[in-house]
Structure 1
Amino acid sequence: MEKPRQGFWGLWNISFGFFGIQIGFALQNANMSRIFQSLGESLDNLTVLWIAAPLTGLLVQPIIGHMSDRTWLGKLGRRRPYFLAGSIMASLALFIMPLSPALWVAAVMLWILDAAINVSMEPFRAFVGDMLRKDQHTVGYSLQTAFIGAGAVVGSIFPWALDQFGVANEVVGGGIPDTVKYSFWFGGLVYLLSVLWTVFTTQEYSPDQLRAFDTDGHEDAQSTVRALAARSQTSAFVWIGAGLLVAALVELSGLEKEMFLLAALLATYGLASIIAIQLAKSGRGNNMLSDIVGDFSGMPDIMKKLALTQFFSWSALFIMWIYTTPVVAQYAFGSNDPNSAAYNEGGNWVGILFAVYNGVAALAALFLLPTMAQRFGKVRTHMICLLAGSAGFAAFLFIREPQILLFAEIGIGIAWASILAMPYAILASSLPQQKLGIYMGLFNVFIVVPQLLVATAMGTVLKHFFPTEPIWTMAFAAIVMALAALAMLRIKETPN
């Protein structure tokens, strides 16, 4: 059996929830550094506070993917329960965040907000694969990207728009301005309503229907456990050894203590692997830990190759989200004082820049990506778009006029559109249907691991080598985005 072809409104309803999710995500990305600095945090400590976001994704997304593969709540479905729960949590966090009286409260709310966004976001990737036939995957993920871009435009531009209407954009003596507060409250409401739209306008296929649609056949449910039971524990000890090595380097070289987090993650995964393998060998492998470790170690070859591209491209994006505000405020508006009018004007302009690259992404997803993918294939399309993003980051090194920086965002927007669509379109057509959730969750590990690396290492690099010159973070972003493009040379195009 083949899934029915979805018409325009079917495609619309499947992805509309991402419009609200991305408003919340954009408000977080464009304003959290500003909130932290408004509450008294220094520039070189921003990455420490941003660790919450990728660490939460690393823990939440594989778990939610695993659980959603095994969920069926009748009329509520398989993935939609997670959309709904995540949207309620995120809306509450968006309301509370700008009311934070102290830095630690804002940091905790960022952790809760990112956990909620991940609970909503991860099943949406698998949801598109569940609902669409293979020959509609590119258009499905492209339309989802268009909603992401549109939501991000609204979320990014909202503080600036409120400022134009006379809402206070600075607080005498420091604090979170009203433009940010009202934007977060608006974002929380739209987040919830847009997800509810998808929940109430779609009907998921039952597990029996999905098995009938899976023309490639489905894996034996115990195949992962059997493969895990046959594995040696040598690789697990290698992970632990890598963690200990990183910890030793931090201690001996005097690197920032946040690098201990990376060491702890490596060692923890090694320990989890030992436990999972032992459970599988003893016949007790029917558990979440064994399934996740087994699926991670036995991921399809196409995922392994795309993982390298994801690692580099998301490293560049995370550098941009953390440092664009201080870079633009210092080099285009002439201020590095978070409480100054010039700095806050620069913060608002960053919202405009982010709105532009997201607007470009929305248009590229609708009109450019499907055409390019049809002509050049999904793999080459992704490579070309990533190179455009690299050029956009490099432009920050030379442009000092705020308005001209808008042109740099065009290349970044094209790359962003492709990053949100092409890897998932490639994967969804290549993965077993019954494990789409867990594989999408594990694939996102290669999004959050580079973010953790940037969050722990970039602050160290900036503090020791460029303590007053954050512009060089954009050079790093340009280089790693180019490496992401080159990594696509390892992947061969496969027909639908």
Structure 2
Amino acid sequence: MEPKPPLTLGQIFTMSFGFMGIQFGFALQNGNTSRILRSFGADVDQLPLFWLVAPLVGMIVQPLIGHYSDRTWNRLGRRKPYFLTGAILSSLALILLPNSGGLAGVLPALWVGAGFVMVMDASFNVAMEPFRALVADNLPDSQRTLGFSIQTFLIGVGAVIGSALPDWLASLRVSQVAGPDGVAPNIKYSFYIGAAVFIIAILVTVVFSKEYAPDQYRRYHGEPEVGEGSGGLGEIWKDFKKMPRTMRQLGLVQFFSWFALFSMWVFTTDAVATHVYGLTGHYELTTAYNEAGNKVGSAFGIYNLVATVYALFLPGIARLVGRKMTHALSLAAGGIGLIAIYFVHTPAGLYYAMVGVGLAWASILSMPYVILSGCLPAGKMGIYMGIFNFFITLPQIINGVFGGWIVKHLYAGQPVYSIVLAGFCLIAAAISVLFVYDGGAIRMQQEKAGFLPVNSSKPMYYLKRVLTLACLVVALAASAQQVYPTNWWAGMKHSSLQVMIHAKGIGEGATVSVSYPGIQLTEFHRVSNPNYLFVRLRLAATVKPGKVPIQINHGAGPATVIQYPLLARRGGNGVSYAQGVGAGDFIYFLMPDRFSNGDPGNDRVAGLRDQSLNRDSIFCGTGAICRGSSTTSTICSAWE
């Protein structure tokens, strides 16, 4: 098997250019599908079920496309026919989705829109899956980090523009008021532009990049491992059962990572609308909700912009600290960024939080594939890249099934808590990746040095522990409360409650209002420290448990809304869960005079050097000895 020749930077660039168009479309989908479906009548807790379409379709389509692209060769090449087919279908879906309301006839607009989301996801997967395999096909181990990093850079470029496009069009005075079909014109035109960019970018890759013909492929990869199964689904299943160890280990990392990303994509718009803008009730058709959606789109553009720049530094960082440590540090930064959204009270703060998410996103799109590609057998790049998608789609399916129920019933309809959970999932992924076996990195080290240094694992041992500890410390620190007491109960004896709120600048020029049945705001106090604010409430005897919105205004800009938990008291007035105080709860301490001598027989102990005894001296106490009727207890307190 011959070593593969390295490619020039220009060849790597054109080979991955089509991914820019794919991610342009993905960014429009991720940033706007929720609000489009909401405008068609979907409830916020139903959104994950509609978003299930993407991972379900990906789980089916990507392994099939990978399997058959491994066996395809025609005038266009091995992977290119799938790029082109997927691009055409994806562009059509991008045009049709925002027009679902106008196309609704027999079926409601919501179901027509959900159908186009399914078509769009299937088409995206047809176009996307072969790109990962193409990089692994054409690049040697030494260039794969560079190749996937350039791919991530181009993904970032497409995502930045796609995410920010609706907001940019709105700034150019394209209307963001929902039309008769429920979708604003700035959203429609963004999808039309996305369709054009998608097809053009794919054509650049199809026209200007090359693939190895079958005989060249065998020279660089060895004889393909094909023909062992029955073909089709049977062989895919055999390959699934024989997946390499590294792939199984990366599966856990991917599970945590994509569970977090799914929550972010689905719930961020409504989290910002309720947590930052303070919207309540049926707000999905309001201009304020569209403004919140535009800000989220711009924030997603920020994290994609950060990912675009950071991707260029990934090869250097990986050379410095290793592939696994690079991915772990990036994921930890993303976790911190998502948790920070809970503490954000302005749209500008959301942009800062997205910086950490951008670091994680760049790494998620490249480092797992770099690590994976070094362990895959010849002729199986496509199928295993497709099977690897299982570890992306499965967590999204689980989140889609249970995420909405959790938001509605456990989080009391507050989607911001799903974003916090997503942050902790990314931190868990950061810890998990440290224990993945990276055979490609070891092979490169051996090729470079001729051997693997005996102590090469020692620095990694300590780095693992340091990063694990740092992640735990950050997780604990990020979970600090802002409100004291952290909750209260309905039906308490005293009706007055004072709440202390602690956050940076929370009291500076603040005014407070509360609107909740059975609760009256009696007063609020600003103090000399602007990071504190005190609010006094009066609770009626009939007040019901729930989330009490404490709205804090600071002049211009959106209000800060703190959803204060008012819980239900346990029944039984304490009798059902507390037994009261009994004799068994007390310890009797016998406090005798220190000169008591209930047993003179042990005043002098044979074998000890000190045989003196002077009970009349205050400087020579012997302690107290009490003799009872059946037990003897000794209290020792010696003075010398």
Normalised by the length of structure 2, the TM-score is 0.66
- For 2:80 and 2:19, the matched residues in 1 are separated by 12
Contact persistence 1:157–1:352 (CA under 8 A)? yes
The within-5 A match list for 1:299-448 is 299-336=243-280, 337-366=283-312, 368-448=313-393
2:155 is matched with 148
- For 1:377 and 1:492, the matched residues in 2 are separated by 12
- For 1:307 and 1:23, the matched residues in 2 are separated by 26
- For 2:176 and 2:342, the matched residues in 1 are separated by 28
The verdict on how the C-alpha distance between 1:172 and 1:136 changes in structure 2, with shifts beyond 3 A counting, is closer
Q: 1:295 aligns with which of 231, 239, 247?
A: 239
2:69 is matched with 68
The aligned amino acid for 1:144 is Q
The aligned amino acid for 1:117 is F
Indicate the larger mover: 466-475 or 200-209: 466-475
The within-5 A match list for 1:1-150 is 1-73=2-74, 75-101=75-101, 102-150=109-157
The verdict on how the C-alpha distance between 1:476 and 1:324 changes in structure 2, with shifts beyond 3 A counting, is same
- For 1:221 and 1:68, the matched residues in 2 are separated by 13
2:411 is matched with 466
Q: 1:221 aligns with which of 217, 220, 226?
A: 226
Contact persistence 1:84–1:196 (CA under 8 A)? yes
Unmatched tracts of structure 1, length 5 or more: 226-285
Say if 2:143 is the partner of 1:157.
Answer: no
Q: In the TM superposition, what whole-angstrom CA distance separates every residue of 1:68-104 from its partner, at most 9, and x where no partner exists?
A: 000001x300000000000000000001111111111
The aligned amino acid for 1:143 is I
Q: 1:179 aligns with which of 164, 186, 203?
A: 186
- For 2:180 and 2:205, the matched residues in 1 are separated by 43
Q: What RMSD over aligned residues (CA atoms) do the two structures have, in Å?
A: 1.2
- For 2:223 and 2:78, the matched residues in 1 are separated by 18
SS of the residue 2:121 aligns to:
helix
SS of the residue 1:406 aligns to:
helix
SS of the residue 2:81 aligns to:
helix
Contact persistence 2:224–2:378 (CA under 8 A)? no
Which structure exhibits the higher relative contact order, with contacts defined as CA atoms closer than 8 Å and separated by 6 or more residues?
A: 1
- For 1:160 and 1:307, the matched residues in 2 are separated by 36
Contact persistence 1:334–1:342 (CA under 8 A)? no
Contact persistence 1:163–1:169 (CA under 8 A)? yes
Q: CA deviation at 1:166?
A: 0.5
SS of the residue 1:167 aligns to:
coil
Q: CA deviation at 1:208?
A: 1.3
1:479 is matched with 424
Contact persistence 1:330–1:343 (CA under 8 A)? no
1:204 is matched with 211
Larger Rg: 2
- For 2:378 and 2:90, the matched residues in 1 are separated by 28
- For 1:387 and 1:454, the matched residues in 2 are separated by 21
The aligned amino acid for 2:296 is V
The aligned amino acid for 1:343 is Y
SS of the residue 1:104 aligns to:
helix
Q: CA deviation at 1:332?
A: 1.7
Q: In the TM superposition, what whole-angstrom CA distance separates every residue of 1:198-239 from its partner, at most 9, and x where no partner exists?
A: 00001210121111002xx4464344x3xxxxxxxxxxxxxx
Q: In the TM superposition, what whole-angstrom CA distance separates every residue of 1:243-299 from its partner, at most 9, and x where no partner exists?
A: xxxxxxxxxxxxxxxxxxxxxxxxxxxxxxxxxxxxxxxxxxx22111111111110
The aligned amino acid for 1:114 is D
The verdict on how the C-alpha distance between 1:378 and 1:218 changes in structure 2, with shifts beyond 3 A counting, is farther
SS of the residue 1:343 aligns to:
helix
Contact persistence 1:311–1:446 (CA under 8 A)? yes
Q: CA deviation at 1:171?
A: 2.0
Q: In the TM superposition, what whole-angstrom CA distance separates every residue of 1:105-161 from its partner, at most 9, and x where no partner exists?
A: 110000000000000000000001111111100000000000111100011000000
Larger fraction in strand: 2
